Amino acid sequence: MQRFVLLFACALACAVFLPRQARSDNTIGSAGSTPPPEIYHVVTSALCARLHERVRPAVAMILQNDQKIAKSPPLFKRYQRGTLTGGPDMSQNGDSIYTQTPETRMALQQMSYLVLPIARNIIAAQTLLDDVKLVEPTGNPNDDAKLAQIKRQLLETIAYQSASLDIINGFVQTLQMGDFQHAGEEYLSEMQGSDPNTHIAHETPNPWQDPNTPGLAPNPYSLNVEQIPGLAVGYNPLSRIVDGLAWLQSETQKREDVAGKTIGDVVTLCGK
């Protein structure tokens, strides 16, 4: 992580300032007079400019997501603790994960507060990295290769953060939808009539709009959640979900370290 944070030095290191005296004779003037202003010209390469304009804000959002994702395992544990205080009479469908207590409701609500900020950061960071201007030819093949490498490494990091978001959001949506689905069941007979085969009409979803792809190009490094240890499709105890999140955080960190080293090396070049 320390190497990854080095990118923020790019704001200072990406430009080399060359002073030019305002007066060609280089004289100071009489005592007490105001010294002439100095004019600075900023000289920077295309590589350093793109690091500053696109890579730096993307990294900042990735780091913000690290902090938010790190808040989720304690909330899952808090939810799990809350299920133990509800008692068997409060459990639905014989599954303790659906136990409703003040602690489970509060933990679930706090998890839901993590979803939108993480998703917005992922969308914004990937949008910056998908911008064609990031990898347009700079005139230097080595710089082009470095930019492509940084883009690849950061997209892979984002893919692992997206998998963490999928777990958090999936759990929140599943529990909230379960509550919504079973709420007011005592009124269904009045809504549907006495015929149990009568169904409530549902709006047909738009076949041209995929709600899971908000205008982003598919991330080529997207992670199949089934690959996460202990999270194969099917029922998973809460402890397995927490273990899966810990594994994702570890794998995300590995990829951030690799990207951080690459970025740090390039930022060093920008300072020369």
Give the pLDDT band (50/70/90) at residue 21.
Answer: very low
Give the pLDDT band (50/70/90) at residue 215.
Answer: low
Question: Could you tell me if 74 and 111 are in contact, meaning their C-beta atoms sit under 8 angstroms apart?
Answer: no
Specify the pLDDT at position 63: 97
Q: What is the mean pLDDT of the chain?
A: 76
Q: Which long-range contacts (CB under 8 A, 24 or more apart) does 135-141 make?
A: 138/45, 138/46, 138/47, 138/50, 139/46, 140/45, 140/46, 140/47
For 89-122, how does the pLDDT look when each residue is reduced to its tens digit (9 = 90+)?
A: 444 443 467 778 889 999 999 999 999 999 999 9
pLDDT > 70? residue 67: yes
pLDDT > 70? residue 245: yes
Chain length of the chain: 272
Specify the pLDDT at position 9: 43
For residues 218-246, give the mean pLDDT: 81
Specify the pLDDT at position 193: 52
Put simply, whether the predicted model's pTM sits higher than 0.85 gets the answer: no
Give the pLDDT band (50/70/90) at residue 271.
Answer: low
For 144-162, how does the pLDDT look when each residue is reduced to its tens digit (9 = 90+)?
A: 999 999 999 999 999 999 9
Give the pLDDT band (50/70/90) at residue 61.
Answer: very high
Looking from the CA of 25 toward its CB, the CA atoms found within 13 Å total: 3
Specify the pLDDT at position 160: 96
Specify the pLDDT at position 20: 39
Four-point Cα dihedral 47, 65, 215, 255, nearest 10? 50
For residues 249-270, give the mean pLDDT: 93
Structure-model confidence comparison of residues 125 and 88, the more confident one: 125
Give the pLDDT band (50/70/90) at residue 261.
Answer: very high
Give the pLDDT band (50/70/90) at residue 231.
Answer: confident
Among the residues of the chain, which ranges form H helices? 2-5, 10-13, 46-50, 56-69, 72-83, 102-130, 141-182, 188-192, 238-270
